[in-house]
Every structure is written in C-alpha cells, then in structure tokens.
Amino acid sequence: METISEYFEELGHRGHEPLLERITATIRWDILDGDEVERRWVRIEHGDLSTAIGDADADCVITAERAVCEDLMSGRSTSLAAVLRGAAAVDGDPRLAVLAQRLFRTPQPVASGPGALPAQRSSP
C-alpha cells in the first residue's frame, strides 16, 4: 500500500482527469494524526490536476484521521460513506467532497451475506 504522500505525488503527476473536465475548484484534505495535522490540497482546473502541501484556502475541506484518508485513497471506502458514518467532516461545498471520489481508486465490492457467491478457487 502506498503512503498518502506517494498518493498525492502520483495524483499531481496524473495531469488531467477527464471525469472532472467541468470542474474548477480546490479541495483540501486535513489529515489528522494525533496532535498533528497534515494539509494536502488538489487544484482542479477543467480536469487539470495539481497538488501541494499547505494551508491554502479551498472550496471544500475534508477532515479525517489518517487511517480514514488511507481508506479513501485506496478505494476501501468513499468520501460520502466516511461523512455519513461520522469518520470525516466536510467544510465548504459538500458536492466537491463527492466529486473528489473521482480522484481515488474505485471501491471494490465485497461479496457477503446469504446471496453471495463463494470465491472461486484456482485449480492445483
């Protein structure tokens, strides 16, 4: 698993995200780690992405513990799910928190419950 620093570095090198071509906004993540706060932000300008570290103003600020942010960036959770369960807070335009999910990996569905299919085994 990559670190948050590696993820934001990769995001900055991505350049253009076609799913965000209609968006111009700044989203900041306040990543809580004990008494420390790491601030990372992404500027989206018609799909062109740039990232930085710092306490710049943003149209939307997402605040969460480091483990929650790691889950968001890895696709194990979504920003909407984290907000709904109280694991993340959004200040500013909440629509941007939902759109920010397009920056992360797609969550992988987990099959469970009575109707779930068993995992396939590979042949020996």
Assess if residue 123 is contained within a domain.
no
Listed in sequence order, the DSSP H helices in 1-124 are 4-14, 66-74, 79-84, 94-99
Structural domain total, the chain: 1
For position 63, which CATH number holds?
3.30.1050.10
Assess if residue 44 is contained within a domain.
yes
pTM of the model as a whole: 0.79
110: confidence class by pLDDT, cuts 50, 70, 90: low
Domain that holds residue 76: 4-103
pLDDT in tens, 42-76: 999 999 999 999 988 999 999 999 999 999 888 88
Looking at the predicted structure, is the pLDDT value of residue 111 above 70?
no
Residue type for 51, please? T
Assess if residue 65 is contained within a domain.
yes
28: confidence class by pLDDT, cuts 50, 70, 90: very high
Is 75 or 23 the better-scoring residue by pLDDT?
23
Assess if residue 41 is contained within a domain.
yes
Assess if residue 118 is contained within a domain.
no
Percent of the chain at pLDDT above 90?
A: 48
Assess if residue 119 is contained within a domain.
no
Quick one: which of 41, 61, 60, 58 has its CA closest to 49? 41
12: confidence class by pLDDT, cuts 50, 70, 90: confident
109: confidence class by pLDDT, cuts 50, 70, 90: low
Assess if residue 124 is contained within a domain.
no
Backbone angles phi, psi at 52, to 5 degrees: -160, 165
